[in-house]
Structure 1
Amino acid sequence: MPDETVLVINAGSSSLKYELRDATSGARLGRGIVNRIGHDGTALRYQVSGESPVERPLPGASYAEAIAAMFERFTEAGARLDGLVGAGHRVVHGGTEFSEPVVVDDAVLSRIDALSSLAPLHNPVAVECIRLMKEHDPDLPQVAVFDTAFHATLPWEAYTFAVPEDVAAEHRLRRYGFHGTSVEYVTGRAAALLGVEEDDVNLIVCHLGNGASITAVRGGRSVDTSMGFTPLSGLVMGTRAGDFDASAVLYLQDAAGMSTREVAELLERRSGLLGLTGDSDMAAIRDRAQRGDDAAQRAVRLAAYRVRHYVGAYLALVPGLHALVFTGGIGEHDDGFRAAVCEPLAHLGIEIDPRRNSAPVADDGGLIGEGSVPVAVIPTDEEAEIAHHTVNLVRGTSTPQTERTPDPSQT
């Protein structure tokens, strides 16, 4: 066990994921998850690197009990928790308050809590888990890393909605963007792969999973992204509709008598791939499509079309593009979907090598096409990015928050 470690915590609406990492190398030493917190069937699953996973029931456990079980399991596994340098927490929404990771004190925690109306399923549990960790060890630094932070560099014209400024200001209406921690990690890895300085790299990053987004990166900074005020907009996702005319929401409320909650349930949980096929898993849908299932074929075609739609738009925003990058569960593992996206884009210099595309992806990624616009697959590792920021902040080597500002030429 290394002398110094860092703990990474990702609190979901009913789950707690965590990893223990080497504070110097970033290597994963162990990981765990507590599922169905507060519900029947709550269970902890933990795996020390190189060993078989351990699972145990935690009936109806709360987040406090989940964290206690996490530390108990660490002790059983022989982890040296006296070497912890800090705990890094994934926080979904930082609003305009937070454009960089921060060490959490009571004032910061209160500011994060005040943003809960923008992410009601996620920010409150992140706040609760940070509080519980501070109670468990008041001297251990707690660091918040925000999914929205990487997109703090969006220029005004990219984040602004064309509504009256007073309404937008009062209700904090703007494009925030999400998946920023993943995109930031992938941007760094892509720059290294391509031999380009991170501050100079120009990319279109396709984070494709059950939740999916695309980000235009110019000079290492986010300049546009498909997710907006919430993670609903943009691409076709597992259960989310993606881009949807706001007037259609009003129509459903008036003509169909649907409540706001019912429309939200429709667009967030019953749409996307699930609404088109009855299945939210892209691998299963592509298998059905290959067997001739018409609904599955249409869904794949629509999902790929929406990706190409954004790629085309972002080509106009990122001159001197170094690469089109795929990441996320679908982006990393579904060679057929990557082909469905790229093959119609050959006229734009986006071409993939079928042999490379179907080969296993290396841990640090690789090129699958070297046309005039190279195409790369790079596995994401949000936990590594959170660990990196946590260690740097605790050791005082991080970039000050004031330095993550929009490109002056784009404001």
Structure 2
Amino acid sequence: MIILVINSGSSSLKYQLRDGSDVLTEGIVERIGGDETPDHSAALERVDADVSKALGDMAIDAVGHRVVHGGERFSAPVLINNEITRAIERLNPLAPLHNPANVQGIRAIAEKWPEIPQVAVFDTAFHRTLPEHAWRYAVPDELYTRFGIRRYGFHGTSFEYVTRQSAGLLGVQPADFTGVIAHLGNGASVTAVRDGRSIDTSMGFTPLEGLVMGTRSGDIDPSILLFLSREGYSEQDLNDLLNRESGLKGLTGHSDMRSVVESSDAQSETALDIASYRLAKYIGGYHIAVGGAQALVFTAGIGENSWDFRERVVGRLGALGVFIDDAENRKRSRAARQISTEESAFPVLVVPTDEEAAIAEATAAVVGRSS
């Protein structure tokens, strides 16, 4: 089955055309909203030109969309129709930076290729198994019942994929895998997995909560926002401050981890200390939450490629009896692998994620069931 995977952002559209495990073509259209590419429909015309060359005499069987927020309704991938599109759109207030762009991508595809089935794959779906004591905030119940304020969690497509890959590497079934997975990219989160299911995760109501990220602050005392509001910061000011100007960027001026690692100045060292310490605290807590991890797994851009950051994090886990092999940690490889020593209390793994493959697989399954 030939699947076009779409990841729509507010000003970009990433795409990948897959035939099973083979990637036929992929790319990104940027600066949507500008003169050359005024909207997502125009972006799709550029995608069509590249995809048509790769297809030749073949045809697209289905389109799979990454949708960031599925709220409480969506716990699995679904075949898209008008009602589903409207339901996703109603979730826009929960993910204002993401869901509106996801909906634009869905509608652009429907307008151009109305006969091709589309499937929504939700970042939040894997975390629908969180127990109430993990997803509930200690705020008045009305805030949950009226506004849906609770922990949702994100990066679920990646976590589900990496759970399966990690289980395979350890020689167990996915349903028997228990561990802590750190998805570390420009956006970063960590998830506690027990018996193949998410039971806690660091991102919350939005992707802002949790770890120190490229431009996001992660955990912060909420009263700081009240203080800044009294000092004249508007709602938009605070949103920009916490989502776009904080994290590594706020600490160093650089949002890219590679630039921070390569720098030797005091600001970068402090930022790396803060980020690695925050993650190590979560790992320790989640080791307890799962009842003892079978493995610690690093994935995504930073998790897969930054041996330096992995070293800093695991170096803080000596109390858990976890140690990495320096030579194995520094190897550059796209293969899933173990980087811990034989003496380590449990293995430390590096497992590349492939969200596009996971979306394509889910899309094929949904379309196959509906045909």
Taking structure 1 as the reference length, the TM-score comes to: 0.87
Match of 2:324 among 337, 352, 377: 352
CA spacing shift, 1:78–1:153, aligned 2, 3 Å? closer
Report whether the alignment pairs 1:263 with 2:238.
yes
Distance 1:397 1:347 in 2: 51
Runs of 4+ in 1 over 3 A off after TM superposition: 76-81
Match of 1:144 among 120, 130, 134: 120
SS at match of 2:46: helix
Partner residue, 1:20: 17
SS at match of 2:4: strand
SS at match of 1:396: helix
Distance 2:337 2:53 in 1: 38
Distance 1:281 1:312 in 2: 26
Question: Alpha-carbon deviations, 1:274-298, whole Å to 9, x = none?
Answer: 1111111111111113xxx111111
Verify the 8 A CA contact 2:254 2:260 in the aligned structure 1: yes
Amino acid at match of 2:56: A
Report whether the alignment pairs 1:75 with 2:70.
no
Verify the 8 A CA contact 2:277 2:316 in the aligned structure 1: no
Match of 1:367 among 338, 341, 355: 338
Q: Indicate the percent of aligned positions where both proteins have the same amino acid.
A: 49
Question: Alpha-carbon deviations, 1:267-317, whole Å to 9, x = none?
Answer: 11111111111111111111113xxx1111111001000000100110111
SS at match of 1:13: coil
Partner residue, 1:239: 215
Partner residue, 2:24: 29
Counting matched residue pairs gives 369
Partner residue, 2:195: 219
Question: Alpha-carbon deviations, 1:164-223, whole Å to 9, x = none?
Answer: 111221111000101111111111110111111101100100011111100000011100
CA spacing shift, 1:77–1:388, aligned 2, 3 Å? closer
Partner residue, 2:205: 229
Partner residue, 2:366: 393
Distance 1:252 1:124 in 2: 28
Taking structure 2 as the reference length, the TM-score comes to: 0.96
Amino acid at match of 2:345: S
Question: Alpha-carbon deviations, 1:215-252, whole Å to 9, x = none?
Answer: 00001110000000111111111111110011111011
Segment of structure 1 superposing worse, 113-122 or 383-392: 113-122
Distance 2:58 2:63 in 1: 11
Give 1:13 deviation, angstroms: 1.1
Verify the 8 A CA contact 1:361 1:377 in the aligned structure 2: no
Report whether the alignment pairs 1:164 with 2:161.
no
Segment of structure 1 superposing worse, 91-100 or 130-139: 130-139
Give 1:81 deviation, angstroms: 4.3
Amino acid at match of 1:38: G
Partner residue, 1:191: 167
Question: Mapping of 1:109-120 within 5 angstroms?
Answer: 109-120=85-96
Distance 2:214 2:245 in 1: 9
CA spacing shift, 1:30–1:367, aligned 2, 3 Å? same
Report whether the alignment pairs 1:300 with 2:272.
yes
Match of 1:63 among 20, 40, 52: 40
Distance 1:201 1:207 in 2: 17
Segment of structure 1 superposing worse, 60-69 or 6-15: 60-69
SS at match of 1:344: coil
SS at match of 2:302: helix
SS at match of 1:265: helix
Amino acid at match of 2:357: A
Amino acid at match of 1:65: A
Verify the 8 A CA contact 2:17 2:26 in the aligned structure 1: yes
SS at match of 2:339: strand
Give structure 2 stretches of 5+ with no counterpart.
none
CA spacing shift, 1:394–1:77, aligned 2, 3 Å? closer
Partner residue, 2:298: 326
Give 1:259 deviation, angstroms: 1.2
Give 1:79 deviation, angstroms: 3.5
Segment of structure 1 superposing worse, 215-224 or 64-73: 64-73
Distance 2:170 2:333 in 1: 16
Give structure 1 stretches of 5+ with no counterpart.
41-58, 399-411
Question: Mapping of 1:398-409 within 5 angstroms?
Answer: none
SS at match of 2:328: helix
